[in-house]
Amino acid sequence: MGYEKIRVPRKHDRVTTLVHHGVFAVVAVDNESKTVALQTVTGDGPVLQGVPWTTLQYMDEEDVSQAAARIVREATEN
């Protein structure tokens, strides 16, 4: 039985979904319900609430240097 790594979405990730057409940016993440809120990258249209993580397809994969930069940025934001 294989183990599939599930990427946890983060705010500002660029994604597409299996359910909605278009390219979106993650604007909020709900870790408890494993859903996100999405806004089109152009900023027009409504924010889509409650989109399950399992329907997301990421536009770019996070590499090690991006992960390190993100960790530093998140640690110094507050």
Using DSSP bridges, classify how beta strands 56-58 and 14-17 pair: parallel, antiparallel or unpaired. Answer: antiparallel
**Rounded Cα distance, 49 and 16, in Å:** 14
Query: What's the pLDDT at 47?
Result: 94
User: Token pair for residue 69?
Assistant: 């930069």
- Tens digits of per-residue pLDDT, 18-54? 888 889 999 999 999 999 999 998 888 899 999 999 9
> Closest Cα partner for 53 from 6, 20, 11, 3?
6
Query: What's the pLDDT at 42?
Result: 86
Provide the terminal-to-terminal Cα distance of the chain, rounded to the nearest Å.
Answer: 41
Residue 27 buriedness (CB in 10 A; 0-12 / 13-18 / 19+): middle
Whole-structure pTM over 0.75, yes or no?
A: no
